[in-house]
């Protein structure tokens, strides 16, 4: 049965307009993005099949172009459309973050960092540079690969902080495993960077670890004094 033959309050688009996007399942949201199904399958049927194939919405959204376009019913046009949607979401979060004091809205900072880092298949170490009112100056990804004392260089973090005339910063990196617990290497590099930044009167406010849907604050764990 085509979606147009469904009762109006069960159609994904009408349901969203009446009850809001939070009322929709992952498959229903994806169906709105797909717009149409394929022969013998409605958009919702196709969405369910894609979610099962990719083992969830997060993996589908994080798929590279080759793997995304390999799925039945998808292609380069849909991949480009999805990337545009994801980038608009990241820019919206960034614009919201630009208007606030990070310390008074820590969840906004975490949401932004999670949106930037959660889907990388490798570790990325980033800095959120802040002014003396803790407003965002810039976000930069500085290192890639395994995050440990050998791959994260305090002098480069300091150089970029001075370049931005930052008064404070938040460190962040991801764990592709999806587990957001800090390793001993994470703790070591956090302490090294805090000591190095203190020498030039720049405050380290936090080190956020992103593991998929999980977020850990090393400040909340007492690792940052």
Task: Calculate mean pLDDT across residues 3-19.
Answer: 78
Q: Examine the pLDDT at 147 and tell me if it is beyond 70.
A: no
What does the pLDDT read at residue 208? Answer: 95
Lookup result for tokens 């900072």: 109
Condensed to tens digits (0 to 9), the pLDDT of residues 101-141 reads 666 677 888 888 988 898 888 899 999 999 998 888 999 99
Task: Answer for the pair 173, 139: CB distance below 8 angstroms, yes or no.
Answer: no
Interatomic CA distance for residues 23 and 12, integer angstroms = 10
Domains, in order of start, for the chain: 3-74 (no CATH), 89-217 (3.40.140.10)
User: What are the structure tokens assigned to 216, written together?
Assistant: 């850990």
What is the pLDDT confidence band of residue 10, given thresholds at 50, 70 and 90?
A: confident
Interatomic CA distance for residues 116 and 1, integer angstroms = 39
Contacts of 63 (CB under 8 A, 6+ apart): 54
- Give the closest residue to 127 by CA, choosing from 118, 89, 191, 117: 117
Contacts of 77 (CB under 8 A, 6+ apart): none
**Reading across the β-sheet that carries 203-211, which strands appear in turn?**
136-144, 124-130, 168-174, 203-211, 214-217
Beta bridge partners of 144: 124
What percent of the chain has a predicted confidence (pLDDT) above 90? 35
Condensed to tens digits (0 to 9), the pLDDT of residues 216-225 reads 999 999 999 7
Condensed to tens digits (0 to 9), the pLDDT of residues 29-43 reads 888 888 888 888 888
Task: Calculate mean pLDDT across residues 185-201.
Answer: 94
The DSSP letter of residue 184 is H
What does the pLDDT read at residue 150? Answer: 45
What is the pLDDT confidence band of residue 97, given thresholds at 50, 70 and 90?
A: low
What does the pLDDT read at residue 149? Answer: 45
């Amino acid at each position: 049965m085509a979606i147009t033959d469904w009762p109006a309050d069960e159609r994904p688009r009408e349901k969203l307009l009446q009850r809001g996007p939070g009322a929709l399942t992952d498959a229903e949201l994806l169906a709105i993005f797909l717009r149409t199904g394929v022969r013998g399958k409605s958009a919702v049927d196709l969405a369910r099949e894609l979610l099962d194939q990719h083992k969830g919405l997060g993996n589908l959204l994080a798929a590279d172009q080759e793997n995304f376009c390999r799925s039945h019913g998808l292609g380069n046009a849909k991949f480009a459309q999805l990337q545009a949607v994801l980038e608009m979401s990241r820019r919206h979060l960034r614009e919201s973050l630009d208007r606030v004091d990070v310390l008074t809205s820590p969840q906004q900072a975490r949401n932004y960092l999670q949106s930037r880092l959660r889907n990388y298949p490798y570790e990325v170490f980033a800095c959120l540079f802040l002014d003396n009112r803790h407003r965002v100056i810039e976000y930069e990804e500085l290192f890639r690969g395994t995050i440990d004392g050998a791959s994260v260089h305090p002098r480069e973090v300091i150089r970029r902080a001075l370049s931005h005339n930052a008064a404070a910063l938040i460190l962040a990196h991801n764990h592709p495993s999806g587990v957001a617990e800090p390793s001993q290497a994470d703790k070591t590099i956090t302490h090294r960077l805090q000591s190095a930044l203190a020498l030039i009167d720049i405050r380290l406010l936090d080190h956020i670890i992103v593991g998929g849907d999980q977020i850990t604050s090393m400040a909340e764990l007492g690792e940052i004094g």
